[in-house]
Amino acid sequence: MEALFFDAKRAALKRVPLPTIPDGYALVRVIASGICSTDLQLLRGYYDFKGIPGHEFVGRVEGPHQSPWIGKRVVGEINLACRACEWCRKGWARHCPNRKVLGILGHPGAHAQWLSLPEVNLHEVPNEITDEEALFTEPLAAACEILDQIPVGLGTRAAVLGPGKIGRLITQVLRTAGAEVTMVGRPMVGRAKGREKTPKAAFDLVVECTGSPEGMPRAIEMVRPRGTILWKTTHHGPAKFDAAALVVNEITVVGSRCGRFPPALELLRRRRVEVGSLLAAEFPLSKAAQAMREADKAGVLKVVLRP
Amino acid sequence: MEALFFDAKRAALKRVPLPTIPDGYALVRVIASGICSTDLQLLRGYYDFKGIPGHEFVGRVEGPHQSPWIGKRVVGEINLACRACEWCRKGWARHCPNRKVLGILGHPGAHAQWLSLPEVNLHEVPNEITDEEALFTEPLAAACEILDQIPVGLGTRAAVLGPGKIGRLITQVLRTAGAEVTMVGRPMVGRAKGREKTPKAAFDLVVECTGSPEGMPRAIEMVRPRGTILWKTTHHGPAKFDAAALVVNEITVVGSRCGRFPPALELLRRRRVEVGSLLAAEFPLSKAAQAMREADKAGVLKVVLRP
């Protein structure tokens, strides 16, 4: 089959064997995959990644023939847990230390014609959700994770710092929970730079999703004493902020990664969040390298690949 | 009166006027004061401090003569709030943005013969508590603050990273709440270096109170996925840890500073914590500069000044 392949910080289409299908796994034909900022980070050397990237997808199960999933349209949770260790037994499979991660760590990803995943990772996509919408299940689940981590409700004054794809999803998710949400961010393409004032100590909750080391010092300025910063960054490398500011104001910082799929699918099915406006462009898989360059441009939202 | 005075990173005894006593303030004769790591930081230039340091004290109220506090033995909360702003009205006076802080910010401190404080900051010391024990009320309150911030109880596996004064108080406080506490720290004076192994992902809660920028990366290694790091650092300057580790493991970091005095006084009165073994040395106020040098030695615990 054909797949996008990253090697030594280069992206190119490559002919690779079909995925192997161990017991309990399904073979999924990819209908479409979405390019995530994490894919761009992997291409720059994050995790010393080499292989097929991609972890946002919608597909159809086509094997093995005895699977109860055959023919179903699915999305899939991206963490492949060992299901045997202490964390898995405690119900924290997403934090299994032996986990593989679809298209990120030790398991070939979704920017390909086919992929394999454990059947336990699959979720059927309700008919009300289009293929393009279903592509947003994984990042929307990552946004919903916030509601699993901290209390958000009516009266929560929240700011989302970073107006990218995940920032826009998080804004909508926080609003479904009753929060009053302000989007704050670096100037977008075409807007005058340096004009935006940072509100000081004005928010109960600041979600830092700029993907930049400069985001955290700004979030610390924006959050009130004893407030919470939800840290959803793809940045890796040394943090750049003053420890004292965080301690003196007794700020809580909560790291946040992947989330459960069912709440995200439910929000999409009930049309409580709108994702159509986040679609930027669609490319055939054969032009995946070009699509990666497009996705890397400032201000470009979701770029979709179709095998 | 005589007082220890910091100026341009130098500590020296100085003759200064008696404190002024505005309405609502009390004049307190200092019985004894304790040297805190924060004092050492102030001497190194933290907050560009110039003036009389010291915020841990026990004293006796001697003015104004009409005060109901006259003759009482007291300790005092160190934040002088404006009592008028939004934070004060919400009950967060310790985070008042207009606050002064005894011996730290805009209000002369306790390493002196006399000090002044608002009467609302004072707490009478029960007879069961000695002068030397009462000196620990402020740092013990800062340790108790943890119990006001996060759930700690039976079954909490906690580590205290940093075996100094505050670390030892925190260890005892967490144990009163039912936690199973391990002390982990840099090798003490006289112990072989580099022998201690860091337990990985082994704790629900890690209290980082090494006062060093190297503490946080180690705390991140020690805490389990989705665990909490309580950050009680006097370090100021750029944080030194990898953002990705915190986000991927969805760790919560909680900054922590001062606490309420009543729980600390109650723990001392009921002898639920033991502070006598933390006393290292006592100096007359006239030898305060020498006492500061003693307190700055590695492994030295609480140094006390007596006017």
In tens, the pLDDT along A103-148 reads 999 999 999 999 999 999 999 999 999 999 999 999 999 999 999 9
Other C-beta atoms closer than 10 Å to the C-beta of A18 total 13
Using a CB–CB cutoff of 8 Å, tell me whether A82 touches chain B. no
Query: Is A6 a residue whose pLDDT tops 50?
Result: yes
Using a CB–CB cutoff of 8 Å, tell me whether A266 touches chain B. no
CA distance linking residue B135 with residue B44, whole number of Å: 23
Confidence of residue A151 (pLDDT cuts 50, 70, 90): very high
* Rounded (10°) CA dihedral B276, B277, B282, B285: -60
pLDDT of residue B194: 53
Using a CB–CB cutoff of 8 Å, tell me whether B252 touches chain A. yes
* Contact between A240 and B239 using a beta-carbon 8 Å cutoff: yes
- Shortest distance, CA B233 to any CA of chain A (angstroms): 7
pLDDT of residue A189: 43
Cβ-nearest to A247 among B231, B238, B248: B231
* Contact between A243 and B247 using a beta-carbon 8 Å cutoff: no
Confidence of residue B90 (pLDDT cuts 50, 70, 90): confident
pLDDT of residue B240: 76
CB environment B252-288: b (16+ within 10 A), e (fewer): bbbbbbbbebebbbebbeeeebebeebbbeebebeeb
Mean pLDDT computed over every residue of chain B: 92
Strands (E) located in A71-189? 73-76, 79-80, 100-102, 106-107, 114-118, 122-124, 157-161, 180-184
Residues of A in contact with B236 (CB under 8 A): 242-244
pLDDT of residue A186: 60
Got the DSSP string for B58-69? Answer: EEEEEESTT-TT
CB B159 within 8 Å of CB B166: no
pLDDT tens digit sequence for B185-241: 864 444 445 556 778 899 999 999 998 888 999 999 999 999 999 999 776 777 778
Confidence of residue B51 (pLDDT cuts 50, 70, 90): very high
CA distance linking residue A250 with residue A225, whole number of Å: 6
Other C-beta atoms closer than 10 Å to the C-beta of A62 total 16
pLDDT of residue A196: 65
Q: Which of A33-47, A120-134, B20-34, B50-64 has the lowest mean pLDDT?
A: A33-47
Q: Which of B78, B79, B105, B252 to mutate to test the interface with A (most CBs of A within 10 A)?
A: B252
- Shortest distance, CA A212 to any CA of chain B (angstroms): 10
Using a CB–CB cutoff of 8 Å, tell me whether A250 touches chain B. yes
* Contact between B252 and A249 using a beta-carbon 8 Å cutoff: no
Share of chain B above pLDDT 70, in %: 95
Sign of CA dihedral B152, B157, B161, B162: positive
* Contact between B242 and A233 using a beta-carbon 8 Å cutoff: no
Among B207, B202, B204, B87, CA closest to B146: B207
Query: Is B155 a residue whose pLDDT tops 60?
Result: yes
List CB contacts of B243: < 8 A, sequence separation 6 or more: A213, A216, A231, A233, A235, A236, A237, A238, A239
pTM for this prediction: 0.86
A129 φ/ψ angles, rounded to the nearest 5 degrees: -100, 125
* Contact between B250 and A226 using a beta-carbon 8 Å cutoff: no
Among B160, B198, B197, CA closest to B182: B160
Domain architecture of chain A: domains with CATH: 2-136+275-306 (3.90.180.10), 142-255 (3.40.50.720)
Using a CB–CB cutoff of 8 Å, tell me whether A86 touches chain B. no
CB A208 within 8 Å of CB A253: no
Query: Is B254 a residue whose pLDDT tops 70?
Result: yes
CA distance linking residue B232 with residue A191, whole number of Å: 41
Using a CB–CB cutoff of 8 Å, tell me whether B244 touches chain A. yes
Q: Which of A150, A226, A234 to mutate to test the interface with B (most CBs of B within 10 A)?
A: A226
CA distance linking residue B56 with residue A264, whole number of Å: 52
Residues of A in contact with B37 (CB under 8 A): none
Residue A306 pairs in a beta bridge with A284
Cβ-nearest to A255 among B87, B232, B246: B246
CB B38 within 8 Å of CB B46: yes
Residues of A in contact with B149 (CB under 8 A): 250
Say if the ipTM goes beyond 0.85: no
pLDDT tens digit sequence for A197-227: 778 899 999 999 998 888 999 999 999 999 9
Q: Which of residues 37-76 of A touch B (CB under 8 A)?
A: none
Query: Is A97 a residue whose pLDDT tops 70?
Result: yes
The torsion region of residue A299 among left (phi > 0), alpha (psi -120 to 50) and beta comes to left
pLDDT of residue B290: 96
pLDDT tens digit sequence for A77-95: 999 999 999 888 888 888 8
Using a CB–CB cutoff of 8 Å, tell me whether A255 touches chain B. yes
pLDDT of residue B31: 98
CB environment B162-179: b (16+ within 10 A), e (fewer): bbbbbbbbbbbbbeebeb
Written as six digits, the tokens of B134 are 């009462």
pLDDT of residue B195: 54
Mean pLDDT computed over every residue of chain A: 92
3-state secondary structure A181-247: EEEECCCCCCCCCCCCCCCCCCEEEEEECCCCCCHHHHHHHHEEEEEEEEECCCCCCECCCEHHHHH
Using a CB–CB cutoff of 8 Å, tell me whether A242 touches chain B. yes
pLDDT tens digit sequence for A228-269: 999 997 777 777 788 888 998 999 999 999 899 999 999 999
CA distance linking residue A42 with residue A173, whole number of Å: 27
Query: Is A191 a residue whose pLDDT tops 70?
Result: no
CB A15 within 8 Å of CB A23: no
Q: How far is CA A175 from the centre of its chain?
A: 19
* Contact between A243 and B95 using a beta-carbon 8 Å cutoff: no
- Shortest distance, CA A170 to any CA of chain B (angstroms): 16
Query: Is A187 a residue whose pLDDT tops 50?
Result: no
Locate all alpha helices (DSSP H) within B90-164, ordered by sequence. Answer: 131-134, 137-149
Query: Is B298 a residue whose pLDDT tops 90?
Result: no
Cβ-nearest to A225 among B92, B213, B238: B92
Confidence of residue B47 (pLDDT cuts 50, 70, 90): confident
Confidence of residue B245 (pLDDT cuts 50, 70, 90): confident
Note if the bond before A64 is cis, omega within 30 degrees: yes
The SS3 call for residue A99 is coil
pLDDT of residue B130: 97
Radius of gyration of chain A (CA): 19
Residues of B in contact with A38 (CB under 8 A): none
CB B250 within 8 Å of CB B227: no
pLDDT of residue A94: 84
List CB contacts of B98: < 8 A, sequence separation 6 or more: B81, B82, B85
Using a CB–CB cutoff of 8 Å, tell me whether A251 touches chain B. yes
Residue B265 pairs in a beta bridge with none
Share of chain A above pLDDT 90, in %: 77
pLDDT of residue A194: 53
Confidence of residue A298 (pLDDT cuts 50, 70, 90): confident
Residues of A in contact with B255 (CB under 8 A): 246-253
List CB contacts of B242: < 8 A, sequence separation 6 or more: A236, A237, A238, A239, B217, B220
Length of chain B: 307
- Shortest distance, CA B60 to any CA of chain A (angstroms): 29
CA distance linking residue A295 with residue A34, whole number of Å: 10
Note if the bond before B64 is cis, omega within 30 degrees: yes
Cβ-nearest to A225 among B87, B231, B240: B87
Using a CB–CB cutoff of 8 Å, tell me whether A155 touches chain B. no
Using a CB–CB cutoff of 8 Å, tell me whether B202 touches chain A. no
* Contact between A255 and B247 using a beta-carbon 8 Å cutoff: yes
CA distance linking residue A153 with residue A161, whole number of Å: 19
